[in-house]
Amino acid sequence: MPQRCSTSNKLLTGLAAVALMAGTVVPANAGTATGAATEWTQVLNNGELVALVGKSGEQIQNQLTQISQLAQQIETQLNIYQNLLQNTATLPSHMWGQVESDLNQLRSIVDQGQSISFSMGNADDVLQQRFQSYSSLKTNLPDNSSFSTTYQSWSDTNRDTIASTLKAASLTAEQFDSEEGTMSSLRSMSETADGQMKALQVGHEIAAQQVAQIQKLRGLVSQQMTMMGTWLQTEQTDKDLAQARREKFFSGTAPSTSGGEKMKVEW
C-alpha cells in the first residue's frame, strides 16, 4: 500500500505540472492568435515612425546647417563687395591749392622795372647788353656823357633786381596762411579717409603740395642767384672800366710841355 500511494502521488504531481504548463501556454497562444498580433504591429510601426522622425530631424538639422553656411557665405560676399565699393570710392572734393596762380604771381613780381629776373629766357643777353665786357670797353670806352647814362642803367638794374627779389620773398611769406589752410584740410581728409582710393588721392594731393613748395623754393633760389649774379656783374664791369681807363691813360702820348700848354687827361 505505501508503494502504491507513492506512485499515485508522483502521477498526480506530474499531471498537475502538465496542467499548469498547459494553463500557462495555451492562453498565451490564444492571445497571440487573436489580439496581440495587432498590438505588436502597432509597436513596430511606432518604432519605425520614431526612426523616421529621427531621420527627418537629422535631415532638417543638416538643411538648417547648410542654410546657415550659405547665409554666412552671402554675408561674406556682401562684405567683400562693400569693401570693394568703399576702397574704390573717390574723394568728393580735391584740394590742389593755388599753386599755378602763386607761381605766376611770383614770376610777375620779379619782373618789374629794370630788374633781371630768373623768369627771363634771355637773362644772359640782357646782362651782356647792360654790362659790357672788358674787351668791349677797351675798344669803345664811354666818355663823360655816355658813362652817366651807362651808370644810371647799372644802378636801376641792381636796385630793381634787389627790390623784386625782396618782394618775391615777402610774397612767399604772405602765402604761408593759405598754404597752411590747404595742408590743414588735407590732414583732416587723410584722418577721415575710409578707403584705399581716398587715402591714395589724399597722398597724391599732399605730394602735389610738396612739389609746389619745391617750385616756389626753386624760384626764390633762382632769383637770389640772379640778384647775386647781377651785382657781381656790375662790380666786375666797374673794375673793367677802371682798368680800361688806366690803360688808355698810360698808353697815351705825353703832350709837349713847350709853350706852357697844360696836359689834358680824359677820365
Backbone angles phi, psi at 95, to 5 degrees: -120, 95
Give the chain's residues under pLDDT 70. 1-40, 42-47, 49, 53, 90-97, 145, 252-267
Other C-beta atoms lying within 10 Å of the C-beta of residue 131: 23
Task: Supply the pLDDT for residue 257.
Answer: 58
Q: Check if the beta carbon of residue 250 is closer than 8 Å to that of residue 266.
A: no
Grid cell 627790390 is found at 163
pTM for the full model? 0.57
Reported as a single tens digit per residue, the pLDDT across 43-67 is 666 667 677 767 777 888 888 888 8
Phi first, then psi: give them for residue 251, nearest 5 degrees: -90, -5
